Structure 1
Amino acid sequence: MSAPSRITAALRSDAVSGLLLIGAAVAALIWANSPLADSYESLRSLTVGPAALHLDLSLETWAADGLLAVFFFIVGNELKRELVHGELRDPRRAALPIAAALGGVVVPALLFLAVNATTPGEAIGGWGIPMATDIAFALAVLAVAGRHLPAALRTFLLTLATVDDMCAVLVIAIAYTTGLDLAALTFAVVGLAVFGFLQNGSGRSLDRIRAVVPGWLLFGPLALVIWALTHASGVHATIAGVAMGLLMCTRPRAGGASSPSDRAEELLRPFAAGVALPVFALLAAGVSLSGTSGFFASTITWGVLAGLLAGKFLGIFGVSWLTARFTGARLNPTLAWPDIAGVGTLGAIGFTVSLLIAELSYTDTAHLTDAKGAILLASAIAALLAALILGHRGRHYRRLTQ
């Protein structure tokens, strides 16, 4: 296997992608608090892009709106496969992780609101920050700490985190979108309809087009147009990535060995893991600690910490247990409730999407600094606690197989 092939294969690993994400975040923190901090801020605010198309954006915005859209495409694509072929195909098997995801969305938001209910100004606007679980980060911790855990636990986490992120995406679209341009949004929807038809439509003419025109040439320019129209509409552009992922064809076409969904995943996941997520983390996670003297006095800090560390565990584990106790939903027979406790702790790793929502929530630099600092602190604590719990459970399962 050639060196590029080995690198590409490594980037498809949950552990490798997660370590790159963590490394980029640590590098951002060091850079933002070093004597070169001014160069870090200059890089984040550097504006590039065609002004005529209103795409003269800062590098930080390009990372959050552009590169992160690739990651969200993979999220939507993965959810589509789960809906068609995986856990979400059977409502009875899907009920528990879906209930856990909804609990892990609602309870953290309520805790944040409770902590910030009487705080004046824009503080309460960050209620969406603790809602999201970082799929890449959480899967990386699971891959490293839980090598002997049942495969069903990864499926549970993946389903939960995917539904969780979909809820967060809807919150971004509804609650954090301002100045809606209906004309641009309409054209974006038309573009999505064309994208879906080209992916899933049937007919000889369409089959000939797909056979003659390479996929990247047929769908690449269309995807860029949809993204640009979504961005121009005022809806956060990552929504375009999720929507296109959900429209992917998940079945092999005549004469094909793999589906368009699988081929897109194979092509884009190394880019998302090796470029999109690390670059976003590098440009978003640089919190200057010199401005955090009042960090632990901020209700935003405590709202995010309570929402992620307490709300996620209570929402995921508690709602899962209640759902299994009072409905027909059942935990996979290869799993036990301590395993779900580990997943509930993993859910507090909010990193990528939480940082994105923080950027959308606050214009005040001090508020944004508090929110980002709390996200990073909660994610680090959650990763360590989850590694301890899952490592213990992994040793338990290893003893059972000996």
Structure 2
Amino acid sequence: MDEALIRRLTPNVLGILVRRGADFAAAEDAVQEALIEAIRSWPADPPRDPKGWLVTVAWRKFLDAARADAARRRREDLVDEEPAPGPAREADDTLRLYFLCAHPTLTPASAVALTLRAVGGLTTRQIAQAYLVPEATMAQRISRAKRTVSGARLDQPGDVATVLRVLYLVFNEGYSGDVDLAAEAIRLTRQLAAGIDHPEVAGLLALMLLHHARRAARTAPDGSLVPLAEQDRSRWDTAAIAEGVVVLQAALSRDRLGEFQAQAAIAALHADAPRTEETDWVQIVEWYDELAALTDNPVVRLNRAVAVGEADGPRAGLAELATVDATLPRYTAASAYLHERAGDADTAARLYAEAALHAPNLAERNHLTREAARLNTRGRG
């Protein structure tokens, strides 16, 4: 069984059933049943047209369920509309599914889960493992999301920004279980970029590629976190960086700057520097200014303060940091870094230790604890 083929075909088959009149929840159930049937029969008797086979079987499963459900008798007139078996139309309904799964009535968590199931073709078990929750919990989340969007009609242009936020959430989950969500997010964003001509879609794809290119260098062999400044840049994926830069340049040439394009431009400047010391921090600050003008996000101001500290000196960075909300996540870590750069090791050590207590994950907590210990040891020496 070709799992990659199944995952590629699943959203197309689901989209076809929805276009023919099936509501989303019933169509998704029918597609899952067809996939189970495919797992049973394909190894011994693979079809010549896998997509056509799945469409035919899923449609029949849907009609069987429609007939059996008294509350859905109004759909029985669809029986006469069953298409003759044969090659499936080449129309790609995946784009419709993106917008349906990113419906504004869904919570971000539900939108992500539904996107991975309906568009990504992942099983409920795989999604549950990736999010470290019981399979039953994830099944309930997906079922509720399906019910929510079942009556939705996409008769208005979809909200691209919402779709992109969902894909970015998927990307930031990274890796857990047997599903690499960062790689899956890149695959899905490529798919979206192939179906819609939008500079921010390209901007998000570029951002993902540029961030993902540094993945191998982000952790040491013992699993500890390696900050950007200390990473072995020879381990960065130069092909992914080159692709990300090309995609970004094409998007920027459209002169319709958006948040993801600006973030990608910052990532590209980091990727372009052969050594940390050669990073163009002045340009990075300028891009943070562009980003701040596009979004009222306090995290952008926090990151900009650190960039100012690199471009104009740590005292200038601390002055910028003083204008930022001190309750933001990673504020204390940023303050510790800038104080260390300014030569105040005692304050930096105390702040690193304080930041470790509020770190969002174990790897970051361990890194901040080591930074505090390093400065304390140096002070005793």
Q: Same fold (TM over 0.5)?
A: no
What TM-score comes out, normalization by structure 1 length? 0.20
More helix by share: 1
Structure label with greater radius of gyration: 2
What TM-score comes out, normalization by structure 2 length? 0.21
